[in-house]
Amino acid sequence: MLTNLNINPQRLWDSLMETAKFGGTAKGGIKRLTLSDEDRQVRDWFKAQCEALGCTVSVDEVGNMFAVRPGRNNELPPIAMGSHLDTQPTGGKFDGVLGVLGALEAMRTLHEQGYETNAPVEIINWTNEEGSRFAPAMLASGVFAGVFTPDYAYERLDRDGISFKDELERIGYRGTEKAGAHKFQAMFELHIEQGPILEDEKTMIGVVTGVQGMRWYEVTVTGQDAHTGATPMYLRKNALLGAARIIEAIDAIGQKHQPGVATVGLIENKPNSRNVVPGEVFFTVDLRHPDEEVLEVMEREFRAALEAALPPMKLAYEEKRIWISPAVKFAPELIECVEHGADKAGFAMRRMVSGAGHDAAYIARVAPTTMIFVPCEGGLSHNEAESTSFDECAAGAQVLLNAVIEHDRRLAG
């Protein structure tokens, strides 16, 4: 079938604005924390919309929702489109929501045109992507992918001591299906970029090839507190000066290994007094790169910089790696479908790696997965002022639909 299926941009926009009322804030954002009443409202709305299209909606034991539209051959596992409907406490209207409602628009288009796919097509709403109310982030896609157990998710507490399990039951979204039992053959996640590259390059579509690897470290540099007036320069053990040299070195490592990035974002200086040579400094280091091997090199260079800079300054240090998230490579055949889809719709595109974590990063461990990015104004996200235009939302949904159809077309051989 060579039909051109065009999504309805106005209908997509109207749905984005309509659901933005569930938890809408005075500043035009959304506060829709996981498993809150607002989350229940948007879930109920989403379920009703999918059922109106003839989809069957099921829910797994951690609240992940699956809306399946049958295909010609229902023996085939579905082709999935998924993201999340929860938001940060001062979230925007597009982070996650565009991925689910863009998928809904794609589904509505298939339904309206009576287009029969070879495989079933489905929309997934992943529970608790944000991790704001119940840490960690990407909790339920993580359970689905076997990274966490369901019990681990159930035991997560919010700041009031209320458990994930109790809230899941309270809003009526604790399903019976085992997490991970629901199989699909591919997942496409449409998402806003949450960074400034697409806008800067005036490019509509980001073809996402993976998620960069991330490593976090904590460093404590120890010197000696001393009087700033009475201690000559040559007798000082200035921990802050040592840290400053490492901060420079970290930046240089990032500059050298681009598109990798390296950041010191938090620093505590002790005793932090104007007339005391600082005796102790604590700081964090965040290293990221799409390629694990380069990340390994960045880590070695960081450690070498500590050793080269600090002992000659008579400073001691302790360094600990506290978190690691391996680089993710998305499925080449799905990436091709996205490129085909963007090309067909006539949009400028570029390949890129995601700087942020997403449900797709966990799902890539258990099924072929990829992502589609559209620009967001000023690269701004996790903010009520987050903004993606009417045209950009429409472009994302169109490319999502095109990619799914292309993947489905290839099943026919």
Q: Give the residue with the Cβ less far from Zn ion, 144 or 317.
A: 144
Q: Produce one character per residue of 259-284: b if its CB has 16 or more CB atoms within 10 Å, e if not.
A: ebbbebeeeebbeeeeeebbbbbbbe
Q: Is 96 in the site for Zn ion (CB under 5 A)?
A: yes
**Measured from the CB of residue 20, what is the shortest distance to Zn ion in angstroms?**
15
CB of 95 or CB of 386, closer to Zn ion: 95
Q: From the CB of 97, what's the least distance to Zn ion, in Å?
A: 9
Amino acid identity of residue 381, one-letter, is: S
Q: Does 291 bind Zn ion (CB under 5 A)?
A: no
Residues of this chain, 313-332, that bind Zn ion according to CB under 5 A: none
Q: Which of 95, 122, 301, 392 lies at the binding interface for Zn ion (CB under 5 A)? A: 95
Asked if residue 260 binds Zn ion (CB under 5 A), the reply is: no
CB of 105 to Zn ion, least distance (A): 18
| Min separation Cβ 372 and Zn ion, Å | 13
Residue (96 or 206) nearer to Zn ion, CB: 96
Binding positions for Zn ion, 148-207, rule CB under 5 A: none
Residue 192 or residue 204: which is nearer to Zn ion going by CB?
192
Stretch that binds Zn ion, among 18-26, 87-95, 150-158, 299-307 (CB under 5 A): 87-95
For the chain, the helix, strand and coil percentages under 3-state DSSP, each to the nearest 5: 35, 25, 40
DSSP state of 131: -
Class of residue 379 by CB neighbours under 10 A (exposed 0-12, middle 13-18, buried 19+): middle
CB of 229 to Zn ion, least distance (A): 52
The stretch near Zn ion (CB under 5 A) out of 88-96, 136-144, 300-308, 396-404 is 88-96
Helix (H) or strand (E) holding 239: helix 239-256
Q: For residues 361, 44, 179 and 336, what is the CA-based torsion angle, rounded to 10 degrees?
A: -30
Is residue 361 within 8 A of residue 331, CB to CB? The reply is: no
Query: How far is Cα 121 from Cα 84, in angstroms, rounded to an integer?
Result: 17
Which residues of the chain form contacts with Zn ion (CB under 5 A)? Answer: 95-96
